[in-house]
């Protein structure tokens, strides 16, 4: 089944819980559970869907693997109901189980299921792909100021800059030994990373 972690969103002043469910993405009343809106999203082959990304401009982006593809929906409140407009859909960006970062009008994520992984930049409004970086293994991303911390699944930590022009890797070092599928996190001046066996803390200076 296609599922994602629910996210709390605010559509023109109304709080909603949005998530991907069986064959749809939908919004719910967080108090009663009542369905407020629903938009078709087919599961072809047991689609796994990344966490939904929602911005102050009411754009809802999500992506799924196994041919699930990516969509951007524009939500608005009109006459007491939520109106859903699909801006675009295609299968060129398929996020498996890593996270997605939005910076301005662009989203950045690893695309691919088991082979041909590419770190990809896409315009959230049009679906246009700006670039694909094939040298970066599947990676989770954490934004720290104007820099990105990428932890790839091979346990390599990268300091990088993300832009619509390219991915610029500033430095990289091996920190973990086994599959690393958990996004890095930050607390104070430390970044925490983990793989299937261990956890590590890196002090930022």
- Residue 102 class from Cβ within 10 Å (0-12 exposed, 13-18 middle, 19+ buried)? middle
Task: State the chain's mean pLDDT as an integer.
Answer: 91
In the numeric block, which tokens belong to residue 130?
């700006």
- pLDDT beyond 80 at 3: no
Contact (Cβ atoms closer than 8 angstroms) between residue 149 and residue 170: no
Q: Judging by DSSP bridges, how do beta strands 129-133 and 118-123 pair with one another?
A: antiparallel
- As a whole number, mean pLDDT of residues 152-164 equals 97
The pLDDT value given to residue 2: 46
The pLDDT value given to residue 41: 84
Between 67 and 30, residue with greater pLDDT: 30
- As a whole number, mean pLDDT of residues 44-70 equals 81
- pLDDT beyond 60 at 113: yes
In angstroms, rounded to a whole number, what is the distance separating the alpha carbons of residues 191 and 180? 15
Question: In the structure, what pLDDT confidence band is assigned to residue 45 with cuts at 50, 70 and 90?
Answer: low
The pLDDT value given to residue 30: 96
- As a whole number, mean pLDDT of residues 8-34 equals 93
The pLDDT value given to residue 66: 77
pTM, two decimals, is 0.92
- As a whole number, mean pLDDT of residues 76-96 equals 94
The pLDDT value given to residue 87: 98
Question: In the structure, what pLDDT confidence band is assigned to residue 48 with cuts at 50, 70 and 90?
Answer: low
Question: In the structure, what pLDDT confidence band is assigned to residue 196 with cuts at 50, 70 and 90?
Answer: very high
Question: In the structure, what pLDDT confidence band is assigned to residue 60 with cuts at 50, 70 and 90?
Answer: very high
Question: In the structure, what pLDDT confidence band is assigned to residue 1 with cuts at 50, 70 and 90?
Answer: very low
In angstroms, rounded to a whole number, what is the distance separating the alpha carbons of residues 20 and 181? 21
């Amino acid at each position: 089944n296609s599922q994602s972690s629910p996210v709390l969103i605010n559509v023109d002043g109304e709080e909603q819980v949005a998530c991907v469910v069986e064959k749809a993405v939908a919004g719910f009343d967080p108090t009663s559970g009542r369905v407020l809106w629903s938009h078709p999203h087919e599961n072809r082959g047991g689609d796994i869907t990344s966490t939904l990304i929602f911005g102050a401009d009411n754009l809802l982006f999500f992506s799924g693997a196994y041919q699930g593809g990516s969509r951007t929906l524009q939500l608005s409140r009109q006459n007491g109901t939520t109106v859903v407009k699909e801006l675009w859909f295609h299968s060129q960006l398929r996020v498996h189980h890593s996270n997605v970062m939005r910076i301005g009008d662009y989203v950045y994520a690893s695309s691919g299921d088991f082979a041909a992984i590419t770190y990809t930049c896409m315009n959230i409004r049009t679906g246009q792909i700006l670039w694909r970086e094939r040298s970066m293994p599947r990676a989770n991303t954490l934004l720290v100021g104007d820099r990105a911390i990428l932890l790839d699944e091979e346990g390599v930590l990268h300091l990088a800059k993300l832009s619509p022009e390219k991915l610029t890797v500033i430095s990289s070092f091996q920190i973990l030994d086994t599959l690393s599928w958990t996004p890095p996190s930050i607390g104070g001046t430390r970044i925490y990373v983990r793989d299937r066996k261990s956890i590590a803390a890196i002090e930022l200076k």
